[in-house]
Structure 1
């Protein structure tokens, strides 16, 4: 019996150890959904459903440990804006003591009985998985400190990337970077709220749950909207897939509308349920832009996009699916699908870890920072290419020509090179006749012909409105350049149904003879081109004399204003006479410059530059005032002669000229009827409507108007009846031709007959022989002008000449030298 009792006691002692070990237990229940206690493993996970204050949804955790495990803490991890209360495990027992509390964790020491009862309640509309375990205090504190440092670092990095993106978006005015900055900042706010960095655990989420819930909803809305808009613009869907572009933009507007509706009273709960489904749809839709980019060959953008979004989408989609089972916020089929995926191991536990999502966001932010930097660099290179390319022809522009040409010259050393400049003569007529669009087509065709003729290895560029430049690897002669230009001009351009004949001029400067860089060569080639235009040549090579002439002309232009102030300009007069009586009836006033160093300067040396610089307007005003003063002086002396002055295109385009002349006439009391303003026919045809308007204003002031060089314009005859002119001047080319052929005489007679029919006075210029005078008189021309009468002379000389040749006698019909 004693032996039996001894064995029984021994068995009890042996069984005491496992019995004592079994006293350590963890269990939980979630009220009111699952009121039964559920066991937990030593390191268990509790899936907490979204908050529902109306149902007072909460979880309770009970822990009991064996006496041998005293000193351990009951710890909770991955808390998300939750309140934790310690309750007495049983009547008469003390609650567990709170030892540590952070934004994402809590630790409690068990009571004297080795038990603890905790009540956990979530205060934000999210689901989460809470880690529950018993562990040594040192282990918990070390792990909690590490997790807090990781969370803070990742949040600071996200915030820095978001703020940097916003600053870059503002500086670069780049909406794509702006949308990504908005997305990153919205995610930063979400994580700051969930981790307690923005709202403390006992702060806004508990004291003002309504405000905290709406703020989190807005942050989620902003993240999805900005993410979708960023995806649309980064992948350039507007160009690659307009239909998908509209669909994703519509989805972004839908998300924004649903999010804003959630702010309204009574709509928050149903909106949150639908919002989660829309969020899953938006995350899945994020894949589509990358697929479209890949399909259209945008491999670089597609690779960056996929690398950036894939970890984030996987992490967040995994989180949403892991919390779907048992959550009333998701449909049953989604929960069942998530459950099956977890059973198959396709939803691993690490997807539920907050660190996985934060690390995914940091990876995404880093990848997209690199992508945006790469995109900005590519855009900068594209803009540089555009800045160096002529949009009309696709050829290099002037800046590219100078830059690339200097590089080629540096490699050439002392080897001969040529900068050839090609100019399209009278190209403005093409634009005016066929329009600027067809003019651009003509430029493209000419550029292609030049490239084909010169070869692809030759640097060819469009350096001006109607000018092309080429850097040749040889030094062709002037005759070779003329053959090249004329050969290209012989081929007509076919624009629609219109065939265009073009004429090219070519000017050249040699390297290294005429310059050591592109700028010097191009400048001197332009000098040669101007010389070719003045001499009406097809080709011209630069020589040193052009530089001297150019500098001389520039010096004249700079001194021209001083010349007007110091009375260095002089009036020269060429007389006019009635064709029948020989009576001197007027004179054309011309301008000469008596330079103090260079002597008498011809108008051809300074007037073209004055026209290009705009100084011609001031020069014309000075001349008109001087001529009106002379006419008034002669009128007071009893000499009534009609004086005429030429007006340029710049004068016709000057809207203030009529007002200026009206003011002068009012103060000087000069007679405007003694002055005839001659307007060249070609100048009128540049802009007929503007010319006629200016002529009418001048006619109203009392000036007589004459159409100079009649017959040399393009189609002035169509506007002649609308012009307020009283006189036409027959160009000297008709006079010369009439003295050589009967057809020329017939043409003169036709012009005079037309003028008489319209009631216009006729003047023939360039008369140099008595035979020409007789022919013009017989044809009915009213007045003649030319060297047969006299060459242009100063005012004093004219007055002296007039006293001897009034009227002009037939015995003095001699040919005067030019």
Structure 2
């Protein structure tokens, strides 16, 4: 019986298959099939007919014979489709007419039997989605009546503000749900990737405060909105029942994506720093995107068309900008170019299918999604590479900063080292000495602060050069430090280099003696320590012990603070210099002396103006001592307040206080008046005037002095300027220039205190000298000391060899006078003949000698 029942069914199937083959516009639906494509079973036309009745009366239906998707491009007209369905038996399951193109805004479905109106069934996309009684779908899914059977005609009216594509399919509900689940997995993965990138880059933006990440987040959000419209996921999950919404969302999301892509590219590649031209182009394109957003609200239909054109322009611009970035040496631009090229290919395939230039298929439908995923992933790689580059730059900057900090610390340590040590000798300076002194005074220890000054070191610097003087000083300090180290009572100032000496200044030294550990007299001990050293420079042994000045102050007797102790030690050192003693321990008398010096300094300028300073004259006799041939002009100050102030003290105060120019101008002005008086008294003798080193280094003073000679009509051959050997050592070139100026005027130059220095022989041939004055320290002992006699003899021989006159100072007895006369000395000066006298007394004395 069952076999007999199968025969009619088989014959029916063969008949239906023949019928389908014979009529391409008629499709037979079998219940056991799950899906049918209607693309090659439809007829269609474009028109504005609004009702089914009008569509039925339309006569120009176009037949479609292939299985391709009906693609009408951008059109503002509605499209009508019809096809015939044959259902041999009623449908037992729910079936759907599916249009896999979610951008259709209006879709109306009509079922007509035998072309008789009214339609037996009608539904629309909006109605179906608003009820949500049927299965969700990412496409337009219109349910068919479940009791449908027989032969019916299917009419479909569709309209869209964007492109018009009509892929028409029939799906059984279970198969549609299965497809929906597969698409949900696909789109879930797609939007999951985009969401993860949004969260990740948003975190980076909030952490790094870099606008590039913020623009990238906004760009991904815009792309996500665009893909929600294109994919149908938006209709399936968010705005179902509102198919008009994508009309606005599609162009706006495209414009936003273009805008944020441009902003991201500008910030990412930093084009404002690379090329103003490309930066200006991106700004213009961003402005167009903003205009499109506004325009879309007024005309969304054309806005969609313009959005596609703008997207194409922006993608081309971004690829071009990326290539320009590569040429400019921006390494991460390669990711940028690959990303936008991928998106451009995907978008191009999709848009070409939209404009009906490529067939609609699986590839073109999903090309834009694939391209966008590739793009955002590549851009994420670019941002990751950017983070890596920035991290590398920051690490490099951090290394540079650390290196700079180390260098700064090294410089700080070096500065501290330099601040605490003398640059020449590398010994501690006064700062380190002061720290040690404060610490020991805080412990109530009895300490002797000793300040030593070697003035000849600076003399060597002026005459032989600073480098030689530094070598001399370093050797001297080295030997002195070595000697102090072995005494056991001198405080070690720095254990690292076993330094016992501090250097308060070039040519000076200081050290501390722990008197709690010391026994015996202090002054002889210090003199023996500091004054018995010789140094060797270029194989020449020079005794560095002459003109030694040393001051000592003891804590707590002479001061309860380091400042006062330094002050008293300095005062003692100055007293050592003025008294010509090697070591001077501070006492109250020194304070009185220091106060007196300060008072003298204050009183000297008004004394000069008041004329309190006088000029005395000391005679110079011929070699026999019988005839007056000249006089030396000497300064005397008989102060009403201080009494007789020694000339050396006056000169020293003037030199230290910067009053030497004022004092010297006063002296030479009075000297010219004195010589005028001598001429009027018929005393035609030479007059010697002493000049200091400050006078010789001041060209204005020499000019002033010579101008005074001319003004007072004094014969220049009667004027002798005396300069000391030590003055030659200070600024030799300036001194020689002044001496040459004096010699060219016709005045004579005498070298005073000859023999007390050690550099005059090196420069004697360069100096315009006319006289040599032998210092009284040799003259006074020449009769009893063979060494002094030898010095005097050799000096006189040198004078004769150089054709210079010789003047002997300090002649105080006849034996000395006779010996000097015998040796051939030209002039004699000393107390044997007369002491310095005021002008009137000198004139009387000279007249008496003449008679």
TM-score by length of 2: 0.57
Greater displacement, 417-426 / 4-13: 4-13
After TM superposition, list the pairs within 5 Å mapping 1:504-583 onto structure 2: 506-580=550-624, 582-583=626-627
1:629 pairs with 2:673: yes
Q: Distance in 1 between the 2:833 and 2:280 partners?
A: 108
Match of residue 510 from structure 2: 469
Match of residue 423 from structure 2: 391
Question: Which ranges in structure 2 are unaligned for 5 or more consecutive residues?
Answer: 1-31, 33-88, 97-133, 136-171, 198-213, 274-278, 290-318, 343-377, 495-499
Deviation track 1:452-483 (CA, whole Å, cap 9, x = no partner) reads 51454567532111212234443657844643
Relative distance call for 1:722 and 1:456 in structure 2 (3 A) is closer
Match of residue 449 from structure 2: 419
Match of residue 591 from structure 1: 635
Relative distance call for 1:804 and 1:482 in structure 2 (3 A) is same
Cα shift at 1:683: 2.3
| 2:701 aligned residue (642, 646, 657) | 657
Q: Please tell me whether the aligned partners of residues 476 and 534 of structure 2 are also in contact (alpha carbons under 8 angstroms).
A: no
Q: Please tell me whether the aligned partners of residues 571 and 586 of structure 2 are also in contact (alpha carbons under 8 angstroms).
A: yes
Cα shift at 1:692: 3.0
**Secondary structure, in 3 states, of the residue corresponding to 1:514?**
coil
Match of residue 79 from structure 1: 218
Deviation track 1:663-708 (CA, whole Å, cap 9, x = no partner) reads 3234333333332212223323445543332122112333222222
After TM superposition, list the pairs within 5 Å mapping 1:167-206 onto structure 2: 204=284, 206=286
Relative distance call for 1:776 and 1:439 in structure 2 (3 A) is closer
Q: Distance in 1 between the 2:181 and 2:404 partners?
A: 57
Deviation track 1:578-632 (CA, whole Å, cap 9, x = no partner) reads 2336122222111110111122211133222222233223222211111111111
Relative distance call for 1:742 and 1:325 in structure 2 (3 A) is closer
**Secondary structure, in 3 states, of the residue corresponding to 1:43?**
helix
1:712 pairs with 2:712: no
Relative distance call for 1:18 and 1:528 in structure 2 (3 A) is farther
**Secondary structure, in 3 states, of the residue corresponding to 2:707?**
helix
Match of residue 544 from structure 2: 502
1:272 pairs with 2:411: no
| 2:439 aligned residue (408, 412, 425) | 408
For the pair shown, the structure with the greater C-alpha radius of gyration is: 2
Match of residue 242 from structure 2: 112
Q: Distance in 1 between the 2:821 and 2:215 partners?
A: 122
After TM superposition, list the pairs within 5 Å mapping 1:311-460 onto structure 2: 378=409, 383=415, 386-402=418-434, 404-405=435-436, 407-408=438-439, 411-412=442-443, 414-431=444-461, 435-447=465-477, 453=485, 454=490, 456-457=492-493, 460=501
**Secondary structure, in 3 states, of the residue corresponding to 1:588?**
strand
Q: Please tell me whether the aligned partners of residues 478 and 540 of structure 1 are also in contact (alpha carbons under 8 angstroms).
A: no
TM-score by length of 1: 0.59
**Secondary structure, in 3 states, of the residue corresponding to 1:597?**
coil
Q: Please tell me whether the aligned partners of residues 449 and 512 of structure 2 are also in contact (alpha carbons under 8 angstroms).
A: yes
Cα shift at 1:442: 4.7
Match of residue 43 from structure 1: 192
Q: Distance in 2 between the 1:488 and 1:187 partners?
A: 75
Relative distance call for 1:88 and 1:356 in structure 2 (3 A) is closer
| 2:814 aligned residue (760, 770, 775) | 770
Relative distance call for 1:690 and 1:23 in structure 2 (3 A) is same
Relative distance call for 1:588 and 1:435 in structure 2 (3 A) is closer
1:638 pairs with 2:691: no
Match of residue 249 from structure 1: none
The CA RMSD measured in Å over matched residues stands at 5.5
Cα shift at 1:788: 0.7
Q: Please tell me whether the aligned partners of residues 81 and 201 of structure 1 are also in contact (alpha carbons under 8 angstroms).
A: no
**Secondary structure, in 3 states, of the residue corresponding to 1:582?**
coil
**Secondary structure, in 3 states, of the residue corresponding to 1:737?**
coil
Relative distance call for 1:392 and 1:663 in structure 2 (3 A) is same
Deviation track 1:633-689 (CA, whole Å, cap 9, x = no partner) reads 221232323221111111111111222123323433333333221222332344554
Question: Which ranges in structure 1 are unaligned for 5 or more consecutive residues?
Answer: 29-36, 49-74, 98-106, 130-185, 194-198, 210-265, 281-319, 330-346, 808-818
Match of residue 251 from structure 1: none
Q: Distance in 2 between the 1:76 and 1:788 partners?
A: 108
Relative distance call for 1:350 and 1:439 in structure 2 (3 A) is same
Q: Distance in 1 between the 2:844 and 2:822 partners?
A: 30
Q: Distance in 1 between the 2:331 and 2:523 partners?
A: 72
1:699 pairs with 2:699: no
Q: Please tell me whether the aligned partners of residues 86 and 95 of structure 1 are also in contact (alpha carbons under 8 angstroms).
A: no
